[in-house]
Structure 1
Amino acid sequence: MKPFDVLLVGAGHAHLGVLRRWAGGARPPGRIGLLNAGPAAWYSGMLPGLLAGRYRAQECQIELAPLCRAAGVELLDGEVQALAARQRKLTLTDGRQLSASWLSLNVGGQVVGPPQRGSELQLLPVKPFAGFVAGWQAWQAAPQRLAILGGGAAGVELALALAGQVSELTLFSAGPLLAEHAPGLRLRALGHLRLRKVLVREDCPISAIDEDCLLSGAEPVWHGSRLLLATGATALPWLAQSGLACDPAGFVQISASLQSQSHPQIFAVGDCASLAGAYKSGVYAVRQGPVLAANLQAVLRTAPLRQYRPQRQSLALLATGDGGALLSWREWSAGGRLCGWWKDYLDRSFMRRHRLPG
């Protein structure tokens, strides 16, 4: 296949923002493609609401074909197996190969469980979202007691969304619940979880799975047959194997221009990238979009590049599964129906900005 001038890999928040800007008339010259595993991009912010029955699946997805058509971008369906960074060549899982003068990676990460012996305990990671939604729907044909691994925002939102759908739910957190958020948010979340009869085990890292048992160190702490994995994302293995400079966790090290530190003709944004001060959150990825769009335009015209400066603070809004939400900003927290209305408004506004008629 003829090389692309620019190839976007993954339909994450930042790349969606780039496509929206190009659809508005700021598209750079040349042949441009978007590679994504599937025809739609799932919006993670609405996933808890989907599981709680507040949204339909189609409300939580952005169809990529209309957006790509408007942006003058070729849409390709496929999943990356390997990247040769020096040649900027991708090998896909079906054997196809793609190359480009400029690559941009917005591929997120993966959720990996603890070491497992035996197969009695079924594991369902929250990513990729399409697989998670299908897996959860299959599980709900015969609901059973459930454990969730992950004491961050994702684990809390899932627990609150699913508590009424299973007979018993336990949430495990390796440290304090919501440790990176305002203390008041943690207390509010614990109160909601208690009202939903969710058993919360803080400071209980899960080290291994032995048949149907979760182990913390050598101590058995839970028995069952179903475990949701909502821990922080780990890097996709092919990133570190590509020749790109990566941090110790395997994420691509980038500069303020969002370019790889070792291969400047490759950009990386969102969760797959590593930059001081930029946390792995959609809030940060969204703000990388305008800088990335400007810089992809600039490199094709040999113009100066813009610098991305992460915001020092970010707003957190966690759905409580009943139409409400919890909010934190710096050390301040709040909760209730008004916060839920605001979260719903922000989520639907994001979807409207990126949805185009088919």
Structure 2
Amino acid sequence: MNPHLVLIGGGHTHALVLRALADRPATGLRLTLIDPEPRAAYSGMLPGFVAGHYRLDQLQIDLARLARAAGARLIRGRAEGLDRAARRVHVAGQAPIPYDIASLDIGIASDLPGLPGFAAHAVPAKPLTAFAARWQTFATEAASGRAGPRIAVIGAGVAGVELALAAQHRLARAGCAPEIALLDAGREILRDVRKGARAALTDRIARLGIALRTGVRIARIEAAGVVLDSGETIPAALVIGAAGTRPQGWLAGTGLHLTDGFVTVDETLRAVSDPAVFAVGDCAHLSHAPRPKAGVFAVREAPVLRENLIAVLTGRPLSAYRPQKDYLKLISMGEKRAAADRLPLRIEGRWVWRWKDRIDRRFMAQFHDLPGA
């Protein structure tokens, strides 16, 4: 029987691998994709969607259509375990899925399970698909007056700042009087951003009247909003969690070597503790070249992963993935304006947003024009 390759998760890297296989099919290979959703959201366009610049369908990758074009079977379900001895993937509500080689691209979560009330009264920014759907509902309700336009964003890193600025723009355009609070436990925001881009974003936050609260400790989330240790309540009809990231919990039960909960991989993107398992994107830790969680690395991993998955099934040598040391960040500022974080200089403007928009649309265009789909 032909070897069976199972892609667990429809993240950016796996989506690009499937797109490449649609153009250049791998003969003699059975291919399966497992994901709980029929569509995956592209992270690069999420702030633009929140701001109202894109429709939901414009940032969605149709996994069912993509799998069909690549000759893969799509199994709708959430992976919840890996039996490495028997080489089986356990999927909620499904029979175990056998594999010869498995690859993990399941992303991360930004919920705060240790924070009382978060699960009941807040929404994490990741997974992206669930957040996008929740935001769509809230924005509609706020525009019609059925929900108050008050939002609290927990976490003032790049993701939190982009979402706060985007939400403010969307609600203001809808005729609301938005009240946005941006909360962070640290004294300094945007710690991973150079001073030029940080200044541009900080000025924008102040100009729009977003309430920036640093050095705060959150006691709990309630239906009325965020309760601080001091007893103060920050009113919010929607609380968004964008503070840090955490790995999917079920990875801890796989027996794979993990680094801070993420699958430890070598330069070939293969798990250091199991040659039959690969991991990419945010769920992986690059042991040979640790990098922050960023979509640019997931995109650059795709051609190496495709070649290595086929190589290991055909007995060929594997290639090494060498991530770049630095990368350009184009950060949305709510309206059609963005800041570029690459040099210490302050680089911002509508032209930066148009640059980012072209990059994002070009990325998504490859999933719209699929051979044989």
With structure 1 as the length reference, what TM-score do the two structures score? Answer: 0.92
1:47 is displaced (CA, Å) by 1.1
Aligned residues: 356
1:209-358 aligned at under 5 Å gives the runs: 209=221, 212=224, 214=226, 220=232, 222-247=234-259, 249-275=260-286, 276-357=289-370, 358=373
Q: What residue in structure 1 maps to residue 48 of structure 2?
A: 49
* Separation of aligned partners in 2, 1:308 and 1:38: 29
* Separation of aligned partners in 1, 2:51 and 2:203: 18
1:52-201 aligned at under 5 Å gives the runs: 52-113=51-112, 115-117=114-116, 122-140=121-139, 141=141, 142-144=146-148, 145-164=150-169, 165=171, 167-175=178-186, 176-201=188-213
Q: Which amino acid aligns with 1:228?
A: I
Worse-matched range after superposition: 112-121 or 25-34: 112-121
Worse-matched range after superposition: 14-23 or 24-33: 24-33
Q: Which amino acid aligns with 1:325?
A: A
CA contact (8 A) 1:116 1:211 kept: no
Q: Which amino acid aligns with 1:110?
A: A
Question: SS at the partner of 2:323?
Answer: coil
1:352 is displaced (CA, Å) by 0.8
CA contact (8 A) 1:3 1:101 kept: no
1:139 is displaced (CA, Å) by 2.6
1:215 is displaced (CA, Å) by 5.2
Q: Deviations over 1:207-260 (max 9, x none)?
A: 54467564555564634453111122201011111111111x211011111011
Q: 1:293 to 1:190 in 2, by over 3 A?
A: same
CA contact (8 A) 1:110 1:128 kept: yes
Question: SS at the partner of 2:110?
Answer: coil
With structure 2 as the length reference, what TM-score do the two structures score? Answer: 0.89
1:307 is displaced (CA, Å) by 0.6
Worse-matched range after superposition: 325-334 or 299-308: 325-334
Q: 1:136 to 1:4 in 2, by over 3 A?
A: farther
Q: Which amino acid aligns with 2:244?
A: G
State the Cα RMSD in Å: 2.3
* Separation of aligned partners in 2, 1:222 and 1:108: 30
Q: Deviations over 1:70-120 (max 9, x none)?
A: 322222211112222333312112143112000000000112226344589
CA contact (8 A) 1:66 1:356 kept: no
Question: SS at the partner of 2:147?
Answer: coil
1:356 is displaced (CA, Å) by 2.8
1:135 is displaced (CA, Å) by 1.7
1:25 is displaced (CA, Å) by 1.2
* Separation of aligned partners in 2, 1:121 and 1:225: 13
Q: 1:207 to 1:284 in 2, by over 3 A?
A: farther
Which blocks of at least 5 consecutive residues in structure 2 are unaligned?
172-176
Which blocks of at least 5 consecutive residues in structure 1 are unaligned?
none
CA contact (8 A) 1:115 1:209 kept: no
* Separation of aligned partners in 2, 1:52 and 1:328: 20
Q: What residue in structure 2 maps to residue 11 of structure 1?
A: 10
Q: 1:62 to 1:35 in 2, by over 3 A?
A: same
Q: Which amino acid aligns with 2:69?
A: A
